[in-house]
Amino acid sequence: MTATTTSMPLLIREQTPHAPVEASSGQTAPDAGAEARALAAGIARGDEAAFRTLYDRYHQRLFRLALVMNRGDEPLAQDLVQSVFIMAAKKLRRIESEEHLWNWLARVARQQCVKTLRKRQRDPSIANAEILTDDYLAGAQSDSFLEEALDRALQALETDERRLVETFYFDRLSQKELAEQLGTTPKGVSGRLERAREKLRSLMKRALSHEA
C-alpha cells in the first residue's frame, strides 16, 4: 500500500467484501479493540487489505459526519472523506481501542474541514454566511451531535426521498441500480436525488444555523 491519491477514487466507487484482519495471536474473530489495533498496525506496515478493511468499515460513518459538517454539500463531503483516508494511510499508527480509532478519524475529518472552510472564507467568490465557523467545528459540539443533526434532517424528508438518499449514499447503490428498483430511468433518479439533496441541504443549514 502506498499513501498516494491515485487509488482513492477507485475505492470510493468500488467496495468489495474483505475478511476481518486477524489479530497477532491468529484469532479470526478478535474483540473490537484488538481488531482496531490490528488494523492500525497493518496500515502502519503498508498492508493493503488492512487499509481496504478500514475504508469499508468507516467510510459510511465518516461520510455521514462529513456531510453534516459541510451542510449537505455532497462533493465537499466526498473530498473530505477521501482526504481522511489519505491521511490515515500516511499517519495512522498506534491505536488503543475502537473508540480511539474512530476519534482519530473524526478528529482528522474536523481538521480537514476547518482547512477547507478557511480556504473558502479567504475566497470572496465563494465565502458566505452559511458555512460553519472554525470555532463551531473545533468546539464543544460532539460528533454524535452532528450525526444526530443529519438523522433529524433525514427524518424531515418525505419517506420516498429519505429512502432514496439513504440507499444512494449509505447503501451505495448506483443510479442505474436504483432506476431498476424504482422502474424508472437513471435520469429520473438523478432528478429525484437532486431535489432530495436540495431539501436535505436546506434542512441541515437551518438546523445548524439555529444551534451554532
Can you list the domains of the chain with their CATH numbers? 1-139 (no CATH), 144-212 (1.10.10.10)
The reported pLDDT for the residue numbered 133 is 43
Closest CA to 170 of 23, 59, 76: 59
Record the cell numbers describing residue 17, joined without a space: 467484501
CB atoms within 10 A of CB 4: 10
Closest CA to 165 of 193, 184, 195: 193
| Alpha helix segments (H runs only) across 70-142 | 74-91, 98-122, 134-138
pLDDT in tens, the chain (212 residues): 544 433 333 343 333 333 444 443 444 445 888 999 999 999 999 999 999 999 999 998 899 888 888 777 788 888 999 999 999 999 998 889 999 999 899 889 888 888 877 776 655 444 443 444 444 444 435 566 777 777 888 888 899 988 888 888 777 788 899 999 889 999 999 999 889 888 888 887 776 665 54
Q: Give this prediction's pTM.
A: 0.63
**Euclidean distance between CA atoms 41 and 38, whole angstroms:** 5
CB 137 within 8 A of CB 68: no
Query: What b/e string do you get for 32-52 counting C-beta neighbours within 10 Å, with b at 16 or more?
Result: ebbbbbbbbbbbeeebeebbb
Closest CA to 153 of 142, 166, 135: 166
Which residues, other chains included, contact 44 with Cβ-Cβ below 8 Å and sequence gap of 6+?
92, 93, 94
Record the cell numbers describing residue 198, joined without a space: 436540495
CB 107 within 8 A of CB 24: no
The reported pLDDT for the residue numbered 83 is 93
Counting runs of H as helices and runs of E as strands, what totals does the chain give? 10, 0
The reported pLDDT for the residue numbered 9 is 35
The reported pLDDT for the residue numbered 23 is 40
- Which amino acid is residue 121, in one-letter code? Q
Show the CA angle centred on residue 36, arms to residues 79 and 137, nearest 5°.
40
